[in-house]
Amino acid sequence: MKKNISWLMLAITLAVAALRAQPPQTQPIPENILVVRSDSLQGLVGARALFPLRGGLKGEAWAIADVLATGSRSPTGEHAPRIQIAQTDPTLKKNSPTLVLSWQEGERFGTACLTQTTGLLTSPSTRFTPGLIAATDIAATVEGKAFSAGRSAVLVPGNLTQLEAYQAVWERKAELLRFLVLAPWLFSLALLFAAWRGKSFGNPKIFGGIALVLWADLLLGSPLLERLPFSYSVTEAARFYGIGNDAAGLFIGCALAAGFEVPALLAVALTIGAPSLGANNGCFLAALVGIMAQEVGKLPVRKRLRAALAALLGIALLFLGLARWDASRGAGVQTHLGQAVSGERVGVVRLIGRKLAMNGHLLVSSPWSLLLLTSGVLLARQRAGRALIAGGAALALNDSGVLAAAMLLLPLAAQKTQSPPAQSGAGG
Instruction: Give the N- to C-terminal CA distance of the chain in Å, as an integer.
Output: 18
Question: What span, in angstroms and rounded, lies between the C-alpha atoms of 53 and 32?
Answer: 25
| DSSP one-letter code for 56 | S
Question: What span, in angstroms and rounded, lies between the C-alpha atoms of 320 and 297?
Answer: 25
Q: Look at residue 306 in the predicted model and tell me its pLDDT.
A: 85
Q: Look at residue 338 in the predicted model and tell me its pLDDT.
A: 56
What secondary structure does DSSP assign to 314-328, as a single string?
HHHHHHHHHHHHHHH
Query: By three-state DSSP, how is residue 195 classified?
Result: helix
The mean pLDDT value for 272-299 works out to 90
**Which of the residue ranges 8-22, 57-71, 353-367 would you say has the lowest mean pLDDT?**
353-367
With 60 as the cut, is the pLDDT of residue 92 above it?
A: no
* Cβ atoms 297, 311 nearer than 8 A: no
| DSSP one-letter code for 126 | G
284 to each of 4, 127, 142, how far by Cα in Å?
Answer: 23, 19, 35
Closest listed residue to residue 71, CA positions, set 144, 150, 132, 143 = 150
What is the C-alpha R_g of the chain? 23
Task: Using pLDDT thresholds of 50, 70 and 90, give the confidence band for residue 188.
Answer: very high
Q: Look at residue 427 in the predicted model and tell me its pLDDT.
A: 44
Which backbone phi and psi does 47 adopt, to 5 degrees? -75, 135
Which backbone phi and psi does 86 adopt, to 5 degrees? -90, 155
With 70 as the cut, is the pLDDT of residue 337 above it?
A: no
Run of H or E including 168:
helix 160-177
Q: What is the pLDDT of residues 122-145, one digit of tens each?
A: 999 898 999 999 999 999 999 988
Query: By three-state DSSP, how is residue 100 classified?
Result: strand
Task: Using pLDDT thresholds of 50, 70 and 90, give the confidence band for residue 425.
Answer: very low
356 to each of 59, 239, 285, 398, how far by Cα in Å?
Answer: 16, 18, 16, 8
Task: Using pLDDT thresholds of 50, 70 and 90, give the confidence band for residue 398.
Answer: confident
Residue type, 193: F
Q: Name residues whose C-beta falls within 8 Å of residue 211's C-beta, 6 or more positions apart in sequence.
A: 251, 254, 255, 258, 260, 268
Point out which residues pair with 341 in neighbouring strands: none
Q: What is the pLDDT of residues 110-120, one digit of tens each?
A: 999 999 999 99
With 60 as the cut, is the pLDDT of residue 346 above it?
A: no
* Cβ atoms 57, 362 nearer than 8 A: no
CA angle 370/60/132 to nearest 5° reads 90
Question: What span, in angstroms and rounded, lies between the C-alpha atoms of 178 and 16?
Answer: 33
Q: Write down how long the chain is.
A: 428
Q: What is the pLDDT of residues 217-235, one digit of tens each?
A: 999 999 999 888 888 788 8
Q: Look at residue 61 in the predicted model and tell me its pLDDT.
A: 44
Run of H or E including 110:
strand 109-115
Strands 86-87 and 34-37: parallel
Half-sphere exposure of 32 (CA within 13 A, CB side): 3
Rounded to two decimals, the pTM is 0.85
* Cβ atoms 1, 260 nearer than 8 A: yes
The mean pLDDT value for 138-161 works out to 91
Question: What span, in angstroms and rounded, lies between the C-alpha atoms of 368 and 390?
Answer: 17
* Cβ atoms 152, 134 nearer than 8 A: no
CA 211 to chain centre: 17
**Which of the residue ranges 15-24, 139-148, 246-255, 419-428 would you say has the lowest mean pLDDT?**
419-428
Q: Domain locations in the chain?
A: 27-157, 176-414
Report the phi/psi class of residue 147: left, alpha or beta, with left for phi > 0 and alpha for psi in -120 to 50.
beta
**Better-scored residue on pLDDT, 347 or 281:** 281
Task: Using pLDDT thresholds of 50, 70 and 90, give the confidence band for residue 418.
Answer: low
Question: What span, in angstroms and rounded, lies between the C-alpha atoms of 174 and 228?
Answer: 9
With 50 as the cut, is the pLDDT of residue 51 above it?
A: yes
**Better-scored residue on pLDDT, 209 or 334:** 209
The mean pLDDT value for 236-244 works out to 85
Half-sphere exposure of 250 (CA within 13 A, CB side): 20
Q: Give percent above pLDDT 90 in the chain.
A: 40
Residue type, 166: Y
Q: Look at residue 404 in the predicted model and tell me its pLDDT.
A: 92
Closest listed residue to residue 368, CA positions, set 417, 405, 415 = 405
| Total Cβ atoms within 10 A of residue 160 | 13
* Cβ atoms 119, 155 nearer than 8 A: yes
Task: Using pLDDT thresholds of 50, 70 and 90, give the confidence band for residue 201.
Answer: confident
